[in-house]
């Protein structure tokens, strides 16, 4: 409640505060600021800017001469924000003109900023304007799942959502094309029918999948190898989307060999890196052999894998593998019984001898150990679940549904309940009437009550009240003054923020009872929501975009340079970072763990990639990182891979990644022309990457940004383009040290992490800003800066716990309030 | 990832995996297929194909102008169609330049290509560019076909972050704009594109149920349209813009239902429904071209756009020996190795475009071929990808547009001739005469004369 009071007080007092300043303070204030303006600010502009930006020339349509007082700057804030930006970036004055020294520029920019800051403090809170947000694809899928208990994911077929400010849930950017509307109509029908009558029965289809690039097996058996077989090149990993729940057939098509006399091979079948089944294959020649597995699988995307477990165990002892076969070694083939025909010519005899010799040499050689899963055919669905799920029925028929008999008035009750949840707010009786009208219409035409409900549901699912989150419908959304959003709007903001989905029963009930704003209730709800498994959406959607993890799906490291990168490793990389993020959310850990944490989540393959010993088994588990060069997201293979080129690391890209995603200081884009090239072929051969980039930076135009960017990136040079540890780049030793423009220097990533942890405010502000953008669905504006700073600086008091960040956001002015457009 | 999908009873797999089986185009389709307008003149079709990140101009521009030019290295695959296309040099997109907005040439190029308008620099709020040439055409001929236009693409836009230097991804994701703030995102999934063309009507239902459901759908549309109109009065300007988009889309669907009722031809799809996105890029792009040909052939639409890639595309082309991402390569800064790789990508794109032109040419349409009755623009709004130049753009115009154009030449226009002048001329061939498009100054000369 305290916060609320403060809020209301602030708004209520705003005119008073303003008046107070307007009447008493101004005299002294005015002279002081204007004196400063005249003394040190105006002369700067007169010296360096008026030459072009004057009354006559108005270069770039800008006349700076008109600004003759401190107050005049505040009146044209947009212009001056641009001026500040140009000064900060050193873009103005232009190169040709006389340029001020940095020591001259800084006091000027600092003074203007402090003036703006003071004005903002006086101006009262501006919660900003949030444009009606269309549900994006993830939100649509999750919302129909939670509304009706269906697992169909119709939005997977919708067109891409455009993104802005780094996220794809920005109201202003999400557009609605006729194509998308068509899909909404089709999806509404499909979703409603699935909920009422069960999933559409699909004809089974067969898909053949194989991995794009295949690697060869080592020539001789390995003694120390992955027992699960998942990381061996003879395994197979494919990601596949399953449209419905149901039983599917997985047919592994094999080829290659296993020496005669070996113990049977064991072929294992995995879904999402969990072993489902395994069978023995007692063969020497695998060519064209197939083995089938059947299992139920849930709708959605899954990683399907096949591998040979303990592949190098049980070979004949002559192979030198571990745990050799106890079977007798089969005798070499006996060729003596073969005789040439008696009437063979001399030539035929010669040929016969040759063949005989060849056979003998071949049998003396070891038989290859190269059995592999060549490709997989996936068929299904079979035994598809029929009829609606109990969950769906429960969510729809709130009025009893025994034998499909419905009492009078049930139509209203059902429709009102559904619309309340679908529109995420109380509905009017007219709205309910119009919807029940559809039921009567269907019944009049001879259709059933259910068919009528189906129709009403479809109407709800294509209604703008469902597809958009339009706030403050009760009043006008154009209302200009700042005002609190309704309890139901707050519930929806929270649920789409943390779950990418609609409010659940409990949240809706809090809104219905108008108690959601109570601080203890809001805090309890936020904590509950973060603990709920639905908050995985926050990791997937917010984390996927903030950390640029989504790009992991499209990166294609050069198979020649990185043959060990396969679909499996790609999935594991993503899983590690998601689990790490999830631990921070679920265990309510410090956000500083992102920068450095002595734990992560690995399985054997990823541990092997990291050269961390003693992790066996394909399942992920928490791993202690003490004594390893890993810790924090900067050392996770996912991040290291998305910030690299396909062929090599890029200190520039990695530096940009850190500036943008950790330090909240995105560098300006490079000039298009006149940038000297790196000699790609020479990297690692005749000059190290570092030497090349250093040479690059001798160009002063590049140095201003690259001095910082590249230096940060160099700290990560011990990790190659797919995140494996290295000490050499080609034939040059890696030098992961550097000094930042502010003079602090580091040797290795640990030093840099110490610097980043020291600058924790920058990181806290960065994460706050990103999370606030995502939670509001709009870009961060000038008036939000104070909110961001206040939230970030409050985190230390709560040990930087993730929940405290989310709570602060949930309690902030922009999250609790809104306003309409300001007049232009 | 998906290789092939067929119903179990007919599992006949083709060898040669890693590729989606080429979908057979049945050239001898139903006679009703083609010229829907009956005995009248075959309609004129308009298609735009966009390639991202510019091209290596020295390997693109033919040396000689006029009729007897030699096909350059990149254009070589198009040589068999010498008499069916012209190479246009000298055209420019002035509004793709910075004009004081700083970096962001890729975003501006994508947004400007068909609009000729300088997009407003914003990462989200107030996205503004102009209406695109294809959409001007689509609006004018909308009543003639089931679909006013189709928008296709070959690149999933899963990019994260701001797409280019403070410009929203909307600018690079779509070249087609229905209005200044309303992009028409391309369909990138061949299956979904197929369904858009041929519908998803469930023919297993009896006709009566189908009819009844169609009526229900209309009642629903009526109802939400009314509700929305009521809602709109309470909205502020920006919310209203969003809901207006919704209303427009509803009306568009109602219009489509009406025209589908008028045009009750049963269109049998001449190709099997694609399963998904083919693994190999060449198969993918060919399939998208096939779908465009089919859409024109069946007169389902007369206007199409295809984005081979989005501006700033980082697609890798290992199949032709280019494992490096496209966009960073184009900033070759004179490195001959990189220039070579970009030229190889440009060559591959041209080769696949030749496939499209060939398909159009081998498809009979009215008294000639589809190519005779089409106007296909292929090009980019960036010429030199290394320096982000927007003049002397790489442009090809294929087809005769009815019998208007006289192709077969390399026409060199004065530098900085607006690209939008070409669009004015193309629209004029379709009987559409907007006063201007973006920065246009008048019609383009020399296309109809020899």
Test mutation, A132, A428, A638, chain B, max B CBs within 10 A: A132
pLDDT digits (tens, 9 = 90+) for B181-230: 999 999 999 988 998 888 776 667 788 888 888 889 999 999 999 999 98
d(CA B16, CA B6): 16
- How far does B176 lie from chain A, in Å, by closest CA? 11
- How far does B427 lie from chain A, in Å, by closest CA? 23
Q: Say if B272 is an interface residue toward chain A (CB within 8 Å).
A: no
Round the CA-based radius of gyration of chain A to a whole number and report it. Answer: 33
Q: Please, are residues B301 and B311 in contact by the beta-carbon 8 Å criterion? A: no
Q: Please, are residues A490 and A816 in contact by the beta-carbon 8 Å criterion? A: yes
Exposed / middle / buried, residue A464 (Cβ in 10 Å: 0-12, 13-18, 19+): buried
Residue A357: Cβ within 10 Å count: 11
Test mutation, B239, B254, B283, chain A, max A CBs within 10 A: B239
Interacting residues of B247 by C-beta distance below 8 A, sequence separation 6+: B225, B228, B229, B232
pLDDT of residue B279: 78
**Residue-wise DSSP of B151-197:** EEES------S-SBTTB-THHHH-S-EEETTEE-PPB--HHHHHHHH
Q: Which residues of chain B does A779 touch, with a Cβ-Cβ cutoff of 8 Å?
A: 123-125
Which position has the token pair 């519930």? A491
- How far does A730 lie from chain B, in Å, by closest CA? 18
Task: Enter the ipTM.
Answer: 0.83
Q: Say if B239 is an interface residue toward chain A (CB within 8 Å).
A: yes
pLDDT digits (tens, 9 = 90+) for A684-716: 666 677 777 777 777 766 777 788 888 899 999
Cβ of B124 within 8 Å of Cβ of A173? The answer is: yes
The chain B residue lying nearest A551, using CA atoms, is: B159
B177, pLDDT greater than 50: yes
pLDDT of residue A646: 86
The chain B residue lying nearest A673, using CA atoms, is: B387
B339, pLDDT greater than 60: yes
Task: Compare B261 and A454 and report the one with higher pLDDT.
Answer: A454
Largest CA distance in chain A: 128
pLDDT of residue A780: 92
**Residue-wise DSSP of A706-774:** HHHHHHHHHTTTTB-TTS-B-SEETTEE---EEE-TTS-EEEHHHHHHHHHHHTHHHHHHHHHHHHHHH
pLDDT of residue A18: 39
pLDDT of residue B264: 64
Among B220, B249, B388, beta carbon nearest to A672: B388
Task: Compare B351 and A216 and report the one with higher pLDDT.
Answer: B351
Among A131, A160, A204, beta carbon nearest to B185: A160
The chain B residue lying nearest A558, using CA atoms, is: B323
d(CA A751, CA A757): 10
For residue A253, what is the enclosing H or E element?
strand A246-255
Q: Please, are residues A244 and A304 in contact by the beta-carbon 8 Å criterion? A: no
Q: Which residues of chain A does B387 touch, with a Cβ-Cβ cutoff of 8 Å?
A: 672-673
pLDDT of residue A396: 93
CB pairs under 8 A between A and B: 277
B106, pLDDT greater than 50: yes
- The per-residue b/e assignment along B4-28, b for 16 or more CB within 10 angstroms, e otherwise, is bbbeeeeeeeeeebeebbebeeeee
Q: Return the bridge partners of B124, or none.
A: B126
Question: What residues 166-225 of chain B have any CB closer than 8 A to a CB of chain A?
Answer: 168-170, 173-174, 178, 181-189, 192, 196, 200, 212-213, 216-217, 219-221, 223-224
Q: Say if B14 is an interface residue toward chain A (CB within 8 Å).
A: no
pLDDT digits (tens, 9 = 90+) for B7-53: 333 222 322 223 232 233 333 233 333 444 444 678 999 999 999 99
Cβ of A478 within 8 Å of Cβ of B235? The answer is: yes
B251, pLDDT greater than 80: yes
Residues of chain A where predicted confidence (pLDDT) is lower than 70 = 1-31, 89-91, 95, 212-213, 333, 335-337, 363-364, 402-405, 473-478, 669-687, 700-701, 822-824
A97: DSSP letter: S
- Residue A323: left if φ>0, alpha if ψ -120 to 50, beta else—which one? left
**Mean pLDDT to the nearest integer, B95-99:** 91
Among A91, A164, A647, beta carbon nearest to B323: A647
- How far does B101 lie from chain A, in Å, by closest CA? 11
d(CA A138, CA A136): 6
d(CA A303, CA A196): 30
Exposed / middle / buried, residue A4 (Cβ in 10 Å: 0-12, 13-18, 19+): middle
Cβ of A206 within 8 Å of Cβ of B323? The answer is: no
Cβ of B227 within 8 Å of Cβ of A179? The answer is: no
Cβ of A164 within 8 Å of Cβ of B151? The answer is: no
The two three-digit tokens of residue A447, written as one number: 């259709």
pLDDT of residue B10: 29
pLDDT digits (tens, 9 = 90+) for B50-65: 999 999 999 999 999 9
- How far does A342 lie from chain B, in Å, by closest CA? 44
């Amino acid at each position: 409640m305290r916060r609320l009071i403060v809020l209301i007080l602030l708004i209520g007092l705003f005119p008073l505060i303003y008046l107070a300043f307007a009447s008493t303070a101004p005299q002294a204030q005015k002279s002081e600021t204007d004196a400063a303006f005249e003394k040190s600010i105006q002369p700067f502009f007169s010296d360096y800017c008026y030459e072009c930006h004057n009354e006559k020339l108005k270069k770039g349509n800008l006349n700076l001469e008109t600004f003759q007082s401190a107050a005049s700057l505040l009146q044209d804030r947009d212009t001056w924000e641009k001026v500040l930006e140009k000064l900060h970036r050193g873009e103005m004055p232009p190169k040709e003109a006389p340029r001020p020294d940095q020591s001259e520029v800084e006091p000027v920019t600092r003074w203007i900023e402090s003036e703006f800051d003071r004005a903002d403090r006086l101006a009262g809170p501006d919660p900003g304007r949030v444009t009606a947000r269309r549900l994006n694809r993830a939100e649509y899928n999750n919302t129909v799942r939670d509304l009706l208990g269906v697992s169909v994911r119709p939005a997977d077929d919708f067109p891409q959502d455009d993104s802005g400010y780094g996220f794809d849930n920005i109201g202003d950017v999400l557009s609605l094309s006729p194509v998308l509307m068509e899909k909404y109509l089709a999806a509404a029908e499909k979703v409603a029918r699935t909920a009422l009558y069960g999933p559409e029965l699909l004809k089974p289809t067969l898909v053949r999948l194989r991995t794009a690039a295949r690697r060869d097996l080592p020539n001789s058996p390995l003694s120390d190898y992955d027992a699960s077989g998942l990381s061996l090149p003879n395994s197979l990993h494919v990601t596949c989307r399953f449209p419905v729940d149901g039983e599917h057939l997985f047919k592994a098509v094999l080829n290659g060999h296993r020496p005669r006399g070996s113990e049977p091979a064991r072929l294992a079948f995995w879904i999402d890196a969990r072993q489902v089944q395994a069978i023995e294959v007692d063969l020497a020649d695998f060519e064209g052999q197939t083995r089938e597995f059947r299992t139920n699988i849930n709708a959605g995307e899954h990683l399907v894998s096949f591998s040979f477990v303990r592949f190098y165990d049980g070979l004949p002892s002559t192979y030198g593998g571990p745990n050799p076969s106890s079977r007798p070694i089969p005798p070499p083939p006996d060729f003596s019984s073969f005789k040439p025909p008696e009437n063979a010519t001399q030539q035929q005899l010669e040929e016969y001898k040759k063949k005989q010799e060849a056979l003998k040499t071949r049998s003396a050689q070891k038989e290859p150990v190269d059995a592999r899963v060549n490709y997989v055919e996936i068929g299904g669905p079979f035994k598809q679940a029929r009829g609606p799920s109990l969950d769906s029925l429960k969510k729809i028929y709130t009025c009893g549904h025994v034998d499909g008999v419905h009492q009078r008035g049930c139509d209203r009750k059902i429709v009102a309940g559904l619309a309340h949840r679908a529109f995420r707010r109380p509905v009017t009786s007219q709205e309910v009437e119009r919807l029940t009208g559809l039921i009567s219409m269907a019944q009049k035409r001879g259709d059933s009550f259910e068919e009528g409900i189906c129709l009403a549901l479809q109407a709800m699912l294509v209604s703008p009240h469902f597809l958009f989150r339009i706030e403050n419908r009760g009043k006008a959304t154009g209302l200009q003054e700042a005002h609190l959003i309704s309890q139901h709007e707050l519930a929806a903001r929270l649920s789409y923020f943390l779950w990418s989905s609609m409010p659940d029963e409990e949240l809706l009930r809090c809104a219905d009872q108008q108690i959601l704003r109570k601080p203890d209730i809001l805090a309890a709800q936020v904590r509950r929501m973060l603990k709920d498994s639905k908050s995985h959406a926050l990791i997937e959607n917010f984390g996927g975009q903030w950390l640029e993890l989504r790009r992991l799906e499209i990166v294609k490291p050069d198979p020649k340079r990185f043959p060990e990168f396969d679909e499996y490793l790609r999935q594991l990389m993503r899983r590690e970072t998601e689990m790490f993020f999830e631990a921070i959310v679920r265990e309510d850990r410090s956000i500083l763990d992102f920068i450095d944490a002595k734990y992560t989540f690995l399985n054997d393959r990823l541990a092997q990639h990291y050269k961390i010993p003693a992790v066996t088994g394909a399942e992920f588990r928490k791993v202690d990182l003490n004594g390893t060069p890993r810790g924090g997201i900067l050392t996770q293979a996912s991040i290291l891979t998305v910030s690299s080129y396909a062929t090599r690391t890029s200190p520039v890209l990695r530096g940009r990644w850190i500036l943008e995603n950790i330090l909240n200081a995105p560098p300006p884009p490079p000039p298009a022309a006149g940038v000297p090239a790196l000699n790609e072929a020479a990297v690692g051969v005749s000059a190290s990457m570092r030497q090349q980039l250093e040479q690059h930076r001798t160009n002063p135009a590049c140095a201003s940004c690259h001095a910082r960017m590249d230096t940060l990136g160099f700290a990560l040079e011990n990790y190659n383009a797919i995140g494996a540890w290295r000490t050499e780049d080609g034939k040059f030793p890696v030098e992961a040290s550097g000094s930042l423009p502010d003079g602090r220097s580091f040797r290795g990533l640990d030093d840099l992490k110490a610097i980043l942890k020291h600058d924790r405010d920058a990181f806290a502000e960065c994460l706050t800003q990103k999370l606030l953008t995502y939670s509001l669905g709009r870009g961060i504006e000038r008036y939000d800066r104070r909110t961001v700073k206040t939230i970030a600086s409050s985190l230390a008091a709560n040990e930087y716990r993730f929940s405290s960040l989310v709570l602060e956001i949930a309690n902030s002015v922009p999250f609790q309030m809104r306003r309409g457009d300001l007049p232009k | 990832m998906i290789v092939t999908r067929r119903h179990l009873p007919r599992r006949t797999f083709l060898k040669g995996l890693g590729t989606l089986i080429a979908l057979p185009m049945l050239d001898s389709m139903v006679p009703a297929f083609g010229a829907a307008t009956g005995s009248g003149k075959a309609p004129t079709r308009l298609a735009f194909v966009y390639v991202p990140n510019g091209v290596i101009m020295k390997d693109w521009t033919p040396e000689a102008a006029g009729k007897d030019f030699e096909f350059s290295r990149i254009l070589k695959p198009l040589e068999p169609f010498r008499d069916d296309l012209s190479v246009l040099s000298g055209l420019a997109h002035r509004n793709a330049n910075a004009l004081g907005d700083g970096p962001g040439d890729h975003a501006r190029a994508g947004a400007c290509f068909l609009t000729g308008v300088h997009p407003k620099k914003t990462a989200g709020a107030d996205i503004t560019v102009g209406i695109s040439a294809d959409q001007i055409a689509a609006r004018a001929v909308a009543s003639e076909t089931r679909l006013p236009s189709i928008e296709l693409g070959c690149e999933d836009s899963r990019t994260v972050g701001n797409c280019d230097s403070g410009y929203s991804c909307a600018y690079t994701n779509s070249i087609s704009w229905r209005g200044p703030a309303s992009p028409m995102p391309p369909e990138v999934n061949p299956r979904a594109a197929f369904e858009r063309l041929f519908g998803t009507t469930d023919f297993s239902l009896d006709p009566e149920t189908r009819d009844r459901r169609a009526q229900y759908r209309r009642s629903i549309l009526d109802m939400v349209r009314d509700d929305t109109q009521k809602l709109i009065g309470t909205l502020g300007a920006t919310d209203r813009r969003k809901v207006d988009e919704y209303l427009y889309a509803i009306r568009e669907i109602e219009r489509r239902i009406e025209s589908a009722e008028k045009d009750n031809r049963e269109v049998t799809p001449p190709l099997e429904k694609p399963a998904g996105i083919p693994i190999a890029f060449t198969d993918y792009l060919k399939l998208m071209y096939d779908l465009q040909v089919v859409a024109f052939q069946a007169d389902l639409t007369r206007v199409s756009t295809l984005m081979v890639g989005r501006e700033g595309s980082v697609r890798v082309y290992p199949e032709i020996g280019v494992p490096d991402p496209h966009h960073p390569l184009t900033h070759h800064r004179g490195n001959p190795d990189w220039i070579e790789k970009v030229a190889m990508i440009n060559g591959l794109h041209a080769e696949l475009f030749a496939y499209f032109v060939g398909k159009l040419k081998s498809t009979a349409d009215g008294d000639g071929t589809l190519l005779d009755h089409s106007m296909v623009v292929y090009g980019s709004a960036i010429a030199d990808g290394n320096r982000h130049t927007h003049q002397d753009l790489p442009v090809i115009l294929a087809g005769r547009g009815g019998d208007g154009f006289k192709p077969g030449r390399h026409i060199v226009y004065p530098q900085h001739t607006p690209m939008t002048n070409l669009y004015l001329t193309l629209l004029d061939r379709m009987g559409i005469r907007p006063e201007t498009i973006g920065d246009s100054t008048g019609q383009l000369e020399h296309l109809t004369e020899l």
